[in-house]
Structure 1
């Protein structure tokens, strides 16, 4: 049982961390902030953004099956749609087009002064986007046992911790990896996300074809 738990934990952690891409979103966070942002303020933003994505995770985890049943959506249909969303995200990651648009200095100053910046857009949808939303519902719907549910929760908390550390140390990450290094990591994560997306699509389509044909 412990072997199955750790296998699921490893699988879920790799899947979610590839989709979230902590190094990539930390670079986006820095691009949204002015150059004179203090380390203390970055720490505050990191903590609040991390709490945002943790709360969002548990909301989706607890309400996901209810929403599927409410709208009469089959999990395999969601796998196909979620796979398409992930595939589009993966293409953007590989092409390096996930970076934020240029802002004026006035907009940057307003962003750093506004506490909601940590929640929207940094927490949602930059870090916790549609791809993460769909993936959590799919993983939750595929495995209903307590063992897999515990592995999913722990895996996400591990990913949330990695996001916090990436945000908190984003200045040092950029210093040592450089912009090019961060882009390389994001492109590699994009390839993994693309492979996960294809698995979701193929798995969902194969079941739907057998069901309706």
Structure 2
């Protein structure tokens, strides 16, 4: 039967890792200049992309990583490098026009992956699936927790436009630069964690 404890523990873990409130500054910075409709589409697409990627790794994660001889640490380092590139764009404004031309770009990178579907959320879902112990209802419970987490992400991003209206253009520019700085720190932390984990294996 449905396991409430497994559901809420998985949901809470995913919510903390995904950190929807913390995504708001980044999302506002990346979507600056977009229309309200494009911003809503980006929020929806980012949640859908992240859901799809995390679901695939939840089911086939171990097989994929083992087959390609990829470690979680390698995912951390690659994700950190990708985030660092995006952070530099936010800080300097380089490539801003190209990024804003298509809502699909930011929905896939960096929102969908690696901010949402990153090493942390992927590993968390893989562990949650293993904790289901082959029970069908356990798998259903974990799946529902993932759906609930993605809905929460969508709600936060969906109503980010209301926050932007309060901040106006000047406030959004300031928030973009702050988001770039924070994103750079997150990227460096991901790189450091991955490198330290590599060194411990030596």
- Taking structure 1 as the reference length, what is the TM-score of the superposition? 0.65
Q: 1:21 to 1:155 in 2, by over 3 A?
A: farther
| Deviation sequence 1:159-185 (CA, Å, 0-9, x none) | 322222235x48xx35x4232210111
Cα deviation, residue 131, structure 1: 6.0
Please give the alpha-carbon distance, in whole angstroms, between the structure 2 residues aligned to 1:5 and 1:17.
17
Confirm or deny: 8 A CA contact 2:99 2:105 kept in the other structure.
no
Partner residue, 2:180: 190
Partner residue, 1:68: 65
Question: Does 1:17 pair with 2:23?
Answer: yes
| Deviation sequence 1:131-187 (CA, Å, 0-9, x none) | 6413424013432226998776544433322222235x48xx35x423221011112
Question: Does 1:94 pair with 2:91?
Answer: yes
Partner residue, 1:128: 108
Superposed CA RMSD in Å reads: 3.6
Listed as ranges, the gaps of 5+ residues in structure 2 are 132-141
Secondary structure of 1:128 counterpart: helix
Question: How many residues align structurally?
Answer: 178
Question: Does 1:51 pair with 2:32?
Answer: no
Please give the alpha-carbon distance, in whole angstroms, between the structure 2 residues aligned to 1:97 and 1:86.
15
- Taking structure 2 as the reference length, what is the TM-score of the superposition? 0.68
Listed as ranges, the gaps of 5+ residues in structure 1 are 31-41, 104-110, 112-120
Give 1:133-148 correspondences, 5 Å limit.
Answer: 133-135=113-115, 136-143=117-124, 144-145=127-128
Confirm or deny: 8 A CA contact 2:77 2:190 kept in the other structure.
yes
Match of 2:76 among 55, 79, 85: 79
